[in-house]
Structure formats: structure tokens, C-alpha cells
Amino acid sequence: MGQKVNPIANRLGIIRGWDSNWYGGKKYGNTLLEDSKIRKYLNARLAKASVSRIVIERTLKLVTITVCTARPGIIIGKGGQEVDKLKEELKKITDKDIQINIFEIKKPELDAVIVANNVARQVEGKIAYRRAVKMAIASTMRMGAEGIKIQVSGRLNGAEMARSEMYKEGRTPLHTFRADIDYAHAEALTKVGLIGIKVWICRGEVYGKKDLAPSFVAAKESGHSNNNRGGDRGDRRNRDDQGRGFKRNKRK
């Protein structure tokens, strides 16, 4: 069963909470559609900001939107100008008061959505899919994940016939409910068609009762963004070194 069901939906109410927190009542359908529009708009608008998760909480007149991102500086802008623009744009969609919180993800390598999107962008940029996948696996395992599994499907390397390839390292127990498994699906639009990328990351096991309400303790403003940029550069250097090593081995 664990192989067939979305690992996130499978764990809802056990070790993972919902991304939309509100009571719908008679207007449930309209509210759900509004949530979908907000998510679609924010994912398109903040495509370069490495957005992982958008959590929406509602009261009678206020909509609180928490954006989990690896690059908070891009969303906040100079002196919070970008956030104010976003609020105005979202007010047109919802006709309600909007509050936007920004939560910085300290370890983007352990977030399935960010990893899947990174691999997809690399494949779109004509980087060999094997190299992109192996680099993603190496950086995730280096950050302390228990296991990672990546499946790439489609016309790989422009082949005439589509196929699927899977790369694994460590353990990803999909049947174990207490295993904190993050899952994401991304698509890379290449010249020869869409290539689908699925990522499963096991971040350990959760024991005891978990509070499922969304609590973002470190939802800070732009103070962290400068340090984060420096960190990104360091990671990039490591990735480049790794890439070169991989090339050298291939030549041999």
C-alpha cells in the first residue's frame, strides 16, 4: 500500500498536519477554490524563491499565509516592499485582509519540493539527468538524511522510447507511518517533452505524540538572508567540485 499512496497524504493526522487550517462550513467549496488560486498564484509569482510549502490559516476576516522558503530575501525585498506588493495582489484574489509570514528553511537539501525543483531546472538547462540526480542525492545525504530515492521518467537523453530510472541511497520505509518521509513531484519541460521527477526523502522517525497544528517558531524577517546567501555559495562550490570529480571518473 505504501508504494501506491502519496506519502504525505498517508501520514496526515499521524505525524504531519494539513497545509490548510480552517473550518469551511457551507462555503467549503469556495474557500477551497480560493486556497487553490492563492497557491497557484504564489508558486508562479515566487518561482525563483525556492518555495517549499504554503500554509493557509483563516479566521472570519483574516487570511494568514505562511510561505516556507529557502530564500527569504527574494520575497521580502528592500525594507519589506515586496511583501507589501504581494499583500495588495492577494487582496484582489480573496477580498479579505491578508497577513503574510515568511519562514526560512535552514536545510533546503532535506526538503523534497526544493530538491525536485532543483533537479528539474538542471535537466531543463541541459545538464545530464544522471549527474543532476547523483549530485542531489549526495548533498541530501551529506545534510544528514536517513535515505533518499529519486525517480526520473520520460524521454531521458532524448531517447525515442520513454523509460523510468530510479536512484536510491539509504532507507525510505514508505509503509512505516512514524517515518518522516517528505515527497514531491516536479516536471522538467525539455525539447523532447516533459520529464517527471519524483523525490522521497526520509528524515528520521518521529516518536511520541506530535502537535499537528502549524507552528513556525523561527518565522523571522530579512536578518538571516545575508548569511544564507553566503551559505548557498559554499554549497555551490562543493557541488561544482563534486561535478568535476564525476566528470574525471567518466573520462577514465
Q: Which residue has the higher pLDDT, 124 or 210?
A: 124
Average pLDDT, the chain: 85
Instruction: Look at residue 161 in the predicted model and tell me its pLDDT.
Output: 96
Instruction: Look at residue 217 in the predicted model and tell me its pLDDT.
Output: 59
Q: Read off the pLDDT band of 2 (50, 70, 90).
A: low
Instruction: Look at residue 198 in the predicted model and tell me its pLDDT.
Output: 97
Question: Looking at the predicted structure, is the pLDDT value of residue 234 above 80?
Answer: no
Question: Looking at the predicted structure, is the pLDDT value of residue 219 above 60?
Answer: no
Instruction: Look at residue 246 in the predicted model and tell me its pLDDT.
Output: 42
Q: Which residue has the higher pLDDT, 152 or 1?
A: 152
Q: Which residue has the higher pLDDT, 188 or 211?
A: 188
Q: Are 220 and 104 in contact (CB under 8 A)?
A: yes
Q: Which residue has the higher pLDDT, 216 or 128?
A: 128
Q: What is the pLDDT of residues 42-98, one digit of tens each?
A: 999 999 999 999 999 999 889 999 999 999 998 988 888 889 889 999 998 888 899
Question: Looking at the predicted structure, is the pLDDT value of residue 208 above 60?
Answer: yes
List Cβ neighbours of 145 (8 Å cut-off, separation of 6 or more): 109, 110, 170, 201, 202, 203
CA 92 to chain centre: 26
Q: What is the pLDDT of residues 8-35, one digit of tens each?
A: 999 999 999 999 999 988 999 999 999 9
Instruction: Look at residue 95 in the predicted model and tell me its pLDDT.
Output: 84
The strands making up 193-205's β-sheet, listed across from edge to edge, are 163-170, 147-154, 193-205, 179-190
Question: DSSP string of the chain?
Answer: -TTTS-HHHHHBTTTB--SEE---GGGHHHHHHHHHHHHHHHHHHTGGGTEEEEEEEE-SSEEEEEEEES-HHHHH-GGGHHHHHHHHHHHHHHSSEEEEEEEE-S-GGG-HHHHHHHHHHHHHTT--HHHHHHHHHHHHHHTT-SEEEEEEEESGGG-SS-EEEEEEEE---TT-TTEEEEEEEEEEEETTEEEEEEEEEEEEE--S----S---TT---GGGHHHHHHHHHHHHHHHHHHHHHHHHHHH-
pTM: 0.82
Q: What is the pLDDT of residues 156-170, one digit of tens each?
A: 999 999 999 999 999
Instruction: Look at residue 1 in the predicted model and tell me its pLDDT.
Output: 55
Percent of all residues in the chain with a pLDDT value above 90, rounded to a whole number: 69
